[in-house]
């Protein structure tokens, strides 16, 4: 069931009708849970038992961790000597730690198993589950990465002292909520469930905001990202024939496509949740206007960045153990982020590039604190523009390894960035027959898109201006109609469904 489809619209409306008709909070949870099971069944029914089993296992593990915490508190109030209490506390803390690592190992092992099983089998049996010679095609469960990350976050939060729920219905509804199930945003349990305590039927402002989020998400994905994706696929699918200009345009187009594709998904997810009275976290904050790589990661895939900071970077020591150790920690975190995105070497290179960039930024910050001239340059308008260009050049060029994780393909793109002309057949097939356009026109279209993004950024961040609810209600249907007219036939799959 695609987000941008009449079927999803009818599904959403029917579920909302039932959801707001029933009055008991428990029944509302059941409505969301059943709807989520139906939604996932429309994608991959074969993995539904696995997700349910994992949900129950993580629910029980968190209860066990919470139980050990309660036991320590009870022992503290019992008639034990200080020495006996310290021994008992140490034993229970060790037990709690073991249960936590059992849960983390289970979730990470499952995630890595699905991502790396094809590679392992290829090494052992010299065959691939995805090849044409295989008796079946291996497909990992949709949303398994986001699913396991949320489970790990929940277990760690409980280990750190947050209360574990004893209501499986609440936990299952949180884990399987259809709006965020497949590609996030990554949401913490306690922030999500607290909203059920104050559920109210959305007012006109919330309804208009929800429809506006869904409508603009559909435009980002259906019109902008998918049309950019056609050009990207044509260029990166014909690397031997593409010229330097084509590869540069495709690289920029892919950076825009990835952002609009994922941001469009999150907008639709957040808009859908808002109609249920639930607020999902923001996941993007104009990342392509960042002036440093650190600022980029505070604005790009925000919930993943928060997860990496809270559950990897800080446990590794963060920035508390000196400058060089901070740089090493940043590099390790980004390598792990690359491994999380995929099993090919290209993702690891992408993570390493971002890790190096974050380390260089941290070193530059340290130098700027010591030298006033350097600090003044970065705060000067020229320095700000230079920092923005440097940041985005690094971000967009590193997307090459993200889009082409096969090192031979990505290396070929980098080699052909300068001094290569496209052959005549490539120009004829791509620009004349497929796109009915020219490289010059595509460049101007992407520049126009950048100006629209810049204008939106200026209105929202600098002028603090927002559309009023009547305007949103007027524009939303126009957006849906535009998607129906202008979206290419057979929409492209969401990019982050692969991760």
Tell me if 408 is assigned to some domain: no
Helices (H), 219-275: 226-236, 244-275
pLDDT band for 90, please (50, 70, 90 cuts): confident
Residues 295 and 379 in one domain: yes
Residues 169 and 22 in one domain: yes
Residue 499 has pLDDT above 80, yes or no: no
Tell me if 274 is assigned to some domain: yes
Residues 20 and 165 in one domain: yes
Please give the model's pTM, rounded to 2 decimal places.
Answer: 0.91
- The residue from 129, 163, 198 where one domain ends is 198
Tell me if 310 is assigned to some domain: yes
Total domains in the chain come to 3
What pLDDT is attached to residue 127? 57
Distance (Å, whole) CA 448 – CA 232: 18
Tell me if 411 is assigned to some domain: no
Structure tokens at 24: 């008991």
Residues 244 and 364 in one domain: no
Residues 14 and 113 in one domain: yes
Tell me if 1 is assigned to some domain: no
Residues 12 and 160 in one domain: yes
Residues carrying an active site annotation: 341
Residues 46 and 109 in one domain: yes
Residues 42 and 71 in one domain: yes
Residues 311 and 394 in one domain: yes
For 220-262, write each residue's pLDDT tens digit. 999 999 999 999 999 999 998 999 999 999 999 999 999 999 9
Query: How many CB atoms lie under 10 A from the CB of residue 186?
Result: 22
Residue 80 has pLDDT above 70, yes or no: no
What residues make up the domain containing 454? 204-280+416-498
2 CB-near residues (< 8 Å, 6+ apart) = 8, 491
Query: How many CB atoms lie under 10 A from the CB of residue 219?
Result: 23
Tell me if 393 is assigned to some domain: yes
Residues 270 and 292 in one domain: no
What pLDDT is attached to residue 139? 73
For 390-435, write each residue's pLDDT tens digit. 999 999 999 999 999 999 999 999 999 998 888 888 888 888 888 8
Tell me if 92 is assigned to some domain: yes
Residues 263 and 158 in one domain: no
Residues 86 and 230 in one domain: no
Tell me if 409 is assigned to some domain: no
For 294-328, write each residue's pLDDT tens digit. 999 999 999 999 999 999 999 999 888 889 999 99
């Amino acid at each position: 069931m695609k987000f941008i489809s009449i079927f999803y619209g009818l599904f959403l409306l029917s579920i909302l009708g039932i959801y707001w008709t029933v009055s008991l909070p428990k029944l509302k949870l059941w409505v969301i849970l059943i709807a989520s099971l139906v939604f996932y069944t429309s994608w991959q029914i074969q993995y539904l038992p696995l997700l349910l089993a994992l949900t129950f296992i993580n629910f029980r593990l968190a209860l066990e961790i919470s139980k050990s915490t309660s036991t320590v508190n009870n022992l503290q109030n019992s008639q034990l000597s200080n020495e006996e209490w310290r021994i008992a506390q140490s034993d229970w803390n060790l037990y709690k730690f073991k249960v936590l690592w059992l849960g983390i190992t289970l979730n990470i092992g499952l995630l890595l198993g699905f991502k790396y099983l094809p590679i392992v089998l290829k090494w052992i049996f010299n065959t691939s589950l995805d090849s044409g010679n295989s008796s079946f095609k291996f497909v990992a469960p949709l949303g398994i990465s986001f699913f396991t990350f949320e489970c790990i976050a929940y277990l760690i939060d409980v280990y750190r002292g947050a209360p574990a729920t004893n209501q499986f219905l609440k936990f299952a509804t949180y884990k399987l909520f259809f709006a965020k199930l497949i590609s996030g945003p990554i949401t913490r349990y306690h922030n999500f469930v607290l909203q059920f305590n104050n559920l109210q039927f959305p007012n006109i402002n919330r309804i208009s905001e929800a429809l506006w989020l869904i409508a603009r998400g559909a435009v980002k994905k259906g019109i902008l990202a998918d049309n950019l994706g056609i050009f990207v696929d044509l260029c990166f699918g014909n690397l031997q024939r593409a010229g330097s200009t084509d590869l540069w345009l495709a690289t920029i187009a892919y950076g825009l496509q990835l952002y609009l594709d994922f941001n469009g998904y999150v907008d639709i997810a957040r808009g859908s949740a808002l109609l249920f009275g639930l607020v999902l976290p923001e996941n993007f904050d104009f990342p392509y206007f960042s002036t440093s790589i650190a600022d980029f990661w505070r604005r790009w895939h925000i919930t993943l960045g928060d997860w990496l900071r809270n559950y990897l970077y800080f446990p590794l020591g963060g920035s508390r153990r000196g400058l060089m150790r901070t740089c090493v920690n940043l590099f390790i975190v980004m390598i792990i982020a690359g491994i999380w995105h995929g099993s090919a070497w290209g993702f690891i290179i992408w993570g390493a590039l971002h890790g190096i960039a974050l380390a260089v930024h941290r070193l530059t910050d340290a130098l700027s604190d010591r030298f006033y001239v350097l600090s003044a340059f970065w705060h000067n308008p020229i320095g700000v523009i230079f920092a923005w260009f440097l940041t985005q050049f690094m971000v967009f060029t590193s997307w090459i390894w993200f889009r082409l994780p096969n090192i031979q393909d990505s290396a070929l793109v980098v080699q052909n960035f300068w001094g290569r002309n496209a052959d005549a057949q490539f120009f004829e097939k791509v620009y004349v027959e497929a796109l009915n356009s020219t490289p010059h026109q595509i460049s101007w279209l992407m520049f126009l898109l950048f100006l629209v993004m810049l204008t939106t950024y200026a209105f929202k961040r600098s002028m603090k201006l927002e559309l009023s609810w009547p305007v949103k209600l007027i524009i939303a249907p126009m957006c849906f109609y535009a998607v129906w007219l202008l979206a290419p036939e057979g929409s492209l799959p969401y990019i982050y469904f692969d991760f």
